[in-house]
A and B are shown apart, each in its own frame.
Chain A
Amino acid sequence: MSTETQRLDELAARLRETPLSADEQAELDALLLRCPEARRRFVDHMLLQNDLNEDAAALLSRPVTVSVRPRSASWLSWRPLTAAAPGIVLGMFCTSMLFAYVAPTFRKVMTLLHESFESGPAPLATGVPIEAGQWSGDYSEVEGEQQGVKSATGTQMLRFLSADYEGKPNPGGYSEDLFRLIDVRSYRREFSDGGAVVQLSAVFNAVALSADEKDECDVCIYALDADMATNGSMRIENKLFTGSLAMARSGGKMLDRDATTWQRMACELRLPTNTDFLMIRLGIVRSSHTSGSFVGHYADDVRVTMARRAPLP
């Protein structure tokens, strides 16, 4: 168990019994913000507590071999809600019945990609990829801990090296991008009714930058049809933007000049029903335009998930 997880356990235990001090709250906030493992553990703590609070009797008494099935209406018999105003009780009761009546089988949030750069081929420096399953874009490499930056998960992370790729027509830019194409045709059943969203999330870090370096990170998802994804036209600058079926971007977040903290960026895209491929993009935009080289900019823990979500009317 890592020291961070151990500390998280201590804070979660204290939180169960007494309010945390201001210092402990700040410590917990910082720990959760920088450490994905701590977040997972904290969520597990809260869900365990919820399960035990809700149904300790059943969980502790039933034989292991018997599947747990919720006892019908038992919660209404003792829950403090029964003391609430009749209207609220009625509303809650109706809604709870609604849960039971209309809730369909829970479909999983499907992970399309979880990349921590621990294994797999090195990223290519050949610009926008036209084949799925391979990182490609500007020059980059996979590295271990360096320059005071430790990987967010595992021991490896992606390092951005320059804003150019092999054979780039106009080299010397200040924005480095790395792409990956994901084939989602086998998931079409999940989004053919327009009721699915894709989320992209990644963490970014950089060495301690000087005060005049206001470098930013961004993430982007493009939905593409098969022709657009594979015919090579995307290699032309801005074609991704103009030729995609839909896109979502989250950007403009300035890197914080603290090599010990990772900053998460995330964006979400509702999938058009005719999507065949997703193109994801991780980007760093340097503020100092004098050089296309990158002194120490990193990304890690890239996740792409698909989830069912009813569209708003």
Chain B
Amino acid sequence: MAERRRILGFIQVLVQDRAAAEDVLQDVSAVLWTKFDQFEIGTDFAAWAMCVARLTVLNWRRKQARLPLALGDETLLLLADEAVAALSVPDDERREALQECLSRLPETQRQLLRAHYERGEDVADIAQEAQRTARSIYLRLEKIHAALLDCMTHKRWLNAGANL
């Protein structure tokens, strides 16, 4: 599961859309399955899978009439390198950092995340339920995401310092 999540995360970085990332993951899984005899047991499975995913995403993008986000090939390859580096952190370590950062959020913000991500409610539904404008909910989500990323970046920085 950790490997699947990591590979899906890698694809998400390159296709920037959840549904599309799931589609591409199926293609990647099929390729991995057919080429599995080429995988060297004992080597890094996720790194191998991400190489396959990189090529699969490029092929997938060429076939799309319309992309979720039209980034240039050069940008995409830079993002792929950045994603590989980011995903080199052990999955458990990254998730524990995220969980801790989530735990520091006020309960109202955690409830908003539950509604949006756990129950799948869109911004308009949440706004109607909370009797607020969609714009205000959207801005709150933006603020929460930024706070979480700042928190995780800070933790990463502390960990890097601890490992020196």
Contact = CB atoms under 8 A, between A and B. Distances in A.
Interface of A: 1, 9-10, 12-13, 15-17, 19-20, 22, 25, 28-29, 32-33, 36, 39-57, 59-60, 62, 64, 67-72, 75, 79-81, 84, 88, 91-92, 94-96, 98-100, 102-104, 106-109, 193, 195, 199, 201, 264, 266, 305, 307-313
A108 B89 contact: yes
A81 B22 contact: yes
Contact of B99 (A68, A264, A313): A68
Contacts of A10: 142
A103 B98 contact: no
A103 B149 contact: no
10 contacts: A44-B149, A46-B12, A46-B16, A53-B117, A60-B110, A60-B118, A69-B92, A71-B1, A92-B26, A102-B39
Interface in B27-72: 29-30, 32-33, 36, 38-48, 51, 68-72
Interface of B: 1-9, 12-13, 16, 18-19, 21-22, 26, 29-30, 32-33, 36, 38-48, 51, 68-72, 74-75, 77-79, 81-92, 94-96, 98-100, 102-103, 110, 113-114, 117-118, 123, 138, 141-142, 145-146, 148-150, 152-153
Contacts, number: 229
Given A59-B102, A67-B92, A70-B2, A43 B13 contact: yes
Given A20-B69, A50-B21, A60-B118, A40 B86 contact: yes
Contact of B70 (A25, A50, A103): A25
